[in-house]
Amino acid sequence: MTHRISAIALATALTATTFAPAAVLATNSEDFARVTTSAAAAAQTPAPKSTGDIKPPVAEKRPHSYSHHGITIEDPYDWLYDKSYPVVDDENVLDHVKAENAYFEANMAAQAPLTEALFTEMRARIKEDDSTVPQKDGDWIYWSEFEEGAQYRKHYRKPAAGGETQLLIDENALAEGQEYFSLGAASVSQNGRYLAYSTDTSGSERYTARIKDLQTGEHLPDVLENLRGGLVWVANDTALVYSPATEEWRTLEAKLHMIGTPTGQDVTLYEEQDQSFSVGTGLSAQEDWLIIATGDNETSEVRLVPAANPTARPILVKPRQKGVEYAVDVRDDELWVWTNDDHINFRLAKASLETPDDWQTVIAGSDEFYLTDFDLFKDFFVTEGRLNGLDQIQLRQYSDPARITPITFPEASYTAGLSNNPEYDMKKLRLSYQSMVTPGTVYDYDVATAKLETLKTQEIPSGYDADLYTTERVSVQARDGTMVPVSIVMRKDRAEILKKAGVEGPGPLHLYAYGAYGYAIPPGFSTSRLSLVDRGFAYAIAHIRGGDDLGRRWYLQGKLFERTNTFNDFVDAGRGLIAQGYTAEGMVTASGGSAGGELMGAIINQDPSQYGAIVAHVPFVDVLGTMLNEKLPLTPGEWQEWGNPITDKAAFAYILSYSPYDQVVARDYPPMLVTAGLNDPRVTYWEPAKWVAKLREVKTDDNLLLMKTNMGAGHGGQSGRWNSLKETAEEYAFILWQMGMAPKSKGE
């Protein structure tokens, strides 16, 4: 675990969107808030069909089957998987994907005015010439800025002692002429002279690194290709440590590149033999140790080498033990360890470097407090975690670790954490904070006085009045008796908005979740979701099992042979919100991406009548097919999350029982929008393509089913803040249209 974050690690707390889909501004305009039927009638009224006589693409069925454990699976759409992947050059495949895009464009054409209006509304909430709060790191102060109208950032620094501002990276210039652009790692050498940074121009997440001499402004001849992960300066700024990707997009090495030498001479510091593990590197709190970590989703192993002498014999902290996770930091030759070896919610321990595997407890594991992270500073250390699902930031003294100084916040529900704190000797801690009704806020916390100083609150140029909104946290009982928390935001005058729009009874509710990998969805702020909320939607985040919102056990209860708890929790959360009067049957809309897209596929197989519209982004829906294909980039590392159906018959049967693609049957499904990325290395494009093809074949309804594939992007959709926002506008236009809330076109 590397706790030091370079100030040029691109602090984006006030400009990044939250995890929920982006949405837009308040308006009372009947053009955009119109609902012409009552809630009950809307629930019974068929959703709009496809436009005119446009026919959806029909994928050819080609005989294909496979057998495991005596079970044969027919997969007639397997041909959509171009076997030359990651190159996709099969003309039949490309023609079908392009036909789906044409069908998407033709159907959404009539909604272009609504999409544009939503986009304009969303953009009006974003401060175009925004900047991050400057932060000191060594002899320099770093920050980044958006210029008005720009898609990407510029990154700057200036001497802390005073002097001229220096442009480090202009992302807009680097993105010029590129269909896609992403800045990956960025690391300034300790002497401040060199900047190493990496970029991706296809969405494949295979980065290319360059080194810029900040004194001359010129680039060194060194080029590192096909990277994943960070760039770490070592050996007194004469070398970089990096992790290259294999052909299968796995990171199995930590390599050392001496500046000015051919990459063919790079030294392998560590090479992992287990294809399911991934290797990452970072520096310790005092930047004197290089930390080389390897692990999968449930097991860790860490080695240390002196940063000044990275080719020295490494210190193995503790040999890997299946199911034991740990991460480390070093302070004054003392090893600090975060681990779940004796408690599911993790403990904090320490050891000497002479006996690094002899871990002595500093903070014991707790059933109540879920310890998620720790940071070491010169005069104190910080623990982060969650108590009853609520974020906690705690200052502790080395001399008395049990004595806690909590950092408290005024709201009953929020998300908060340490932000960019690059120096070891910090007197003020940089924090980030937000809630579902409070825009992102950056604080400095004065350690000596225990006072919070507000440095910046997210500015919303078109206006925002928090007093118009209310947020609630309710619990809904799942079918096995588990109480599932749900965070909700809506207008206080929602009833009046719905009444003016002609809605009798509860209005629509949008439900969002992820539910995998122990990734909690915080109750954070989003300017974009206001475009639904201000039209009478309630917006809810279901904190379902599979995430670690309520502790590590909450995560474990949603993986492997308990995976279906995740889907059941989401379905039951929606049903519970209907029962509590927040919405009505058929008035729930839902969205999720990646593993959250898998969730969307599972819930419509289980309870399609609940939903009025579904948006599934890059959905992981061919779970069985992907977990059986060990050649794919992520598969070996994913077996700990989903199970290995190749070797385990029970895992095969269990995954088959819920895999959304395999469980599609002849029945009515709600209107759906599905997205994909042709260059996506995480959820390959053919998963959503196959799923949509099968749905088109067997579904018994006439509801609209659209698929959009970004031909030059990957897992995260289009790059650039306006391109990304436009895709959110498309998503919300689709939802409003299918819920009968789009403005009527002339002549209707």
Catalytic residues: 594, 680, 715
Cα separation, 263 vs 254, in Å, equals: 13
Residue 226, classified by CB atoms within 10 Å of its CB into exposed (0-12), middle (13-18) or buried (19+), is: middle
3-state SS class at 303: strand
Cα separation, 500 vs 696, in Å, equals: 37
Residue 190, classified by CB atoms within 10 Å of its CB into exposed (0-12), middle (13-18) or buried (19+), is: middle
Sequence-distant (≥ 6) Cβ neighbours of residue 613 within 8 angstroms: 47, 589, 590, 670, 671, 672, 673, 734, 735, 738, 739
Cα separation, 253 vs 244, in Å, equals: 7
Cα separation, 625 vs 477, in Å, equals: 33
Cα separation, 678 vs 687, in Å, equals: 11
Cα separation, 508 vs 501, in Å, equals: 12
Sequence-distant (≥ 6) Cβ neighbours of residue 161 within 8 angstroms: 139
Cα separation, 36 vs 33, in Å, equals: 10
Query: What residue ranges in 235-266 does DSSP mark as E strands?
Result: 239-244, 253-258
What does the angle CA 225 – CA 231 – CA 234 come to, to the nearest 5 degrees?
120
Residue among 66, 86, 76, 68 at smallest CA distance from 634: 86
End-to-end CA separation in angstroms for the chain: 59
Q: Which amino acid is at 543?
A: H
Q: Are strands 267-271 and 140-146 parallel, antiparallel or unpaired?
A: unpaired
Cα separation, 112 vs 350, in Å, equals: 59
Residue 86 preceded by cis peptide, ω within 30: yes
Judge contact between 612 and 577, C-beta under 8 A: no
Strand 369-376: give its sheet, edge to edge: 369-376, 381-387, 390-397, 400-406
Cα separation, 59 vs 694, in Å, equals: 8
Q: Are strands 289-295 and 300-306 parallel, antiparallel or unpaired?
A: antiparallel
Cα separation, 140 vs 218, in Å, equals: 20
Q: Are strands 705-710 and 672-677 parallel, antiparallel or unpaired?
A: parallel
Q: Is the dihedral of CA 625, 626, 627, 632 positive or negative?
A: positive
Cα separation, 543 vs 523, in Å, equals: 9
| Number of CB atoms found within 10 A of residue 81's CB | 22
Q: Are strands 588-593 and 611-617 parallel, antiparallel or unpaired?
A: parallel
Q: How many residues does the chain have?
A: 748
Cα separation, 300 vs 297, in Å, equals: 8
